[in-house]
Every structure is written in structure tokens, then in C-alpha cells.
Amino acid sequence: MSGIASWWQNGRGRRSEAADGTKPIGILGAPMRIAVLSDIHSNLAALDAVRADLPEIDELWVLGDIVGYGPQPNEVIAALQEMGARSVLGNHDGAAIGTVDPHDFNPDAAAAIRWTASVLDDNARAYLATLPEVRTEGDLTGVHGSPRDPIWEYITSTSIAMANLEAFETRLCLFGHTHLPIVFASQDGQGTALAAIPDEPISLGAARLLLNPGSVGQPRDGNPASSYLLLDTDAQTAIFRRVAYDVGVTQRLMRDVDLPLRLVERLSWGR
Ligand code: ZN
């Protein structure tokens, strides 16, 4: 056994050993396996590939931008409902239902939002309308952009990450929006960025962390494979995963409904 299977299985062993009345205290007060997804952007083929890759989990967190850019908004939302996702609102989600002003959108993104708004069914619209901008449970805060500006701010540097530390009270903050997987850590007033190397466990340790799982539906770090994050609050580790999916399936569906060609092409390059 190697890689993800061994990491997950090791944690499971410890968990069952402690299950008889002496449960170890995880960061949420109970051991938890949590999958963290963000920026799915109506890309069902990518979500399906991630779903097939998921080990057994206790919770699924989704950090917004569920829709926008891609061709299957209703199908993606139905899948997340089936999976019991704990979701927050992203700028594209709010723009698609008219509750967020899309002032920052480039012409391609705006065109995709107009198309999305025209095809959203009642179920999807109602789902997006219920999403909070900030979700706090136990030791986790989840936002799309940043804790101090949940819809719009991009956390792209250690200094921006550190400036956001005072805007959330839990030990861990999960965020998305940049489509770039990364961890920012703060210990003793010092901030550092940790690279998100797939399948290499990162210790959750004693530091306060901001973690970005990267993007499921439109990765922008030069790797077209979907990116997501697993947290094991029992073993106190995090691990990034990359999952290749059939980009051509999503691209064909995008062409069929005349979504902007630049949005179709960028999926091939992960940009
Ligand atoms: Zn996004």
C-alpha cells in the first residue's frame, strides 16, 4: 500500500483503536475525515473524477464558485446536494443569481455568467440562494475569497494571508478563489507559504493555517488535473490530491452551448 491509501488507512487504524470510549480529541472535538473542494465551475466531468478518487469521508466542504465558466451548473449542484456538501457562496455563484454585482468580471466570465443565469433550474437557483458567505464549524472557517472579504479578496501572498489572520477565530481557514493550491502558515507571528505537493502529508501542527485546495473545474497552476484537499483531524494532517479527468468531454459540452472559446481552451493548459 502506498500514497493516499496508506496515509488514509494509517489514520483509520488509529481511529478504530480509540473508538472504544477513548476517542482522541481531533481539532473538531472528534476525529474527522474532511474533503475540501473549490471552484468546480460547472465542470461535472472534473467533479465526477474527484468523486471517484475520494476515500471514505465524514464531511465535504465546498468553497464556492460552484458555477460559472463551465457547461453543467444544474448537474454539479445536484451532485453536491447528493453528497451533502457544506458549501459557501463564491463571486460567480452570486453573480449567476443576481445577488453579487459582477463588476470585476472580464467579458468571457461575464458571458459565461449570462449563459449560466439563463439555464439555472429552480433547484439550483434555490440552492445557491441559501449559501452563506462564511461557514464556521468547530475549528474550521470556510470562505471563497478571504475571511475579511469573503466574496472578492484574493489571498495571493503571505502578507495578505497574515493580514487575514485577525479576521477569523478558528485555527484553520479554508479558502479558494485563486484556483491555486497552497498553504499559508503562521507561527509565533511569522508567516510562511508551504507548497502543495500532491500526496505529501502536511502536518496541521500547532500553527494557524490558511489552506486553499486549488480548483476542481478550472485549475490555473499549469496542471489541467483537478486539485482538491483532504484533512484528517485525527492524524492532524492535510494532503493534496490531483486527479486527471477527460477535459475533452467538458470542452465539447462548452462548444455545444457556445461558451467563449478562450474558456474552452484554457482547460487544456490548466491556465
Ligand atoms: Zn473561481
Residue 98 · residue 117 · CB < 8 Å: yes
Residue 184 · residue 8 · CB < 8 Å: no
Residue type, position 48, single letter? D
Residues 6+ positions from 250 with CB-CB distance below 8 Å = 43, 44, 45, 46, 70, 71, 217, 267
Q: How far apart are CA 92 and CA 207, in angstroms?
A: 31
Dump pLDDT digits (tens) for 213-231.
Answer: 999 999 999 999 999 999 9
Hey, CA dihedral for 117, 146, 88, 4, is it positive or negative? Answer: positive
Residue whose C-alpha is closest to residue 84's, from 60, 115, 120: 60
Question: Does the domain made of 3-12+25-269 have the CATH classification 3.60.21.10?
Answer: yes
For residue 2, the CA-to-ligand 1 centroid distance in Å is 32
What is the model's pTM? 0.90
Dump pLDDT digits (tens) for 22-39.
Answer: 333 344 556 689 999 999
For residue 176, the CA-to-ligand 1 centroid distance in Å is 7
For residue 194, the CA-to-ligand 1 centroid distance in Å is 21
For residue 1, the CA-to-ligand 1 centroid distance in Å is 35
What pLDDT is recorded for position 2? 43
What is the spatial order of strands in the sheet that 172-174 belongs to?
134-137, 140-143, 172-174, 208-212, 182-187, 190-195
Q: From first to last of its 271 residues, what are the pLDDT tens digits of the chain?
A: 445 656 665 554 444 333 333 333 344 556 689 999 999 999 999 999 999 999 999 999 999 999 999 999 999 999 999 999 999 999 999 999 999 998 889 999 999 999 999 999 999 999 999 999 999 998 899 999 999 999 999 999 999 999 999 899 999 999 999 999 999 998 788 899 999 999 999 999 878 999 999 999 999 999 999 999 999 988 899 999 999 999 999 999 999 999 999 999 999 999 9
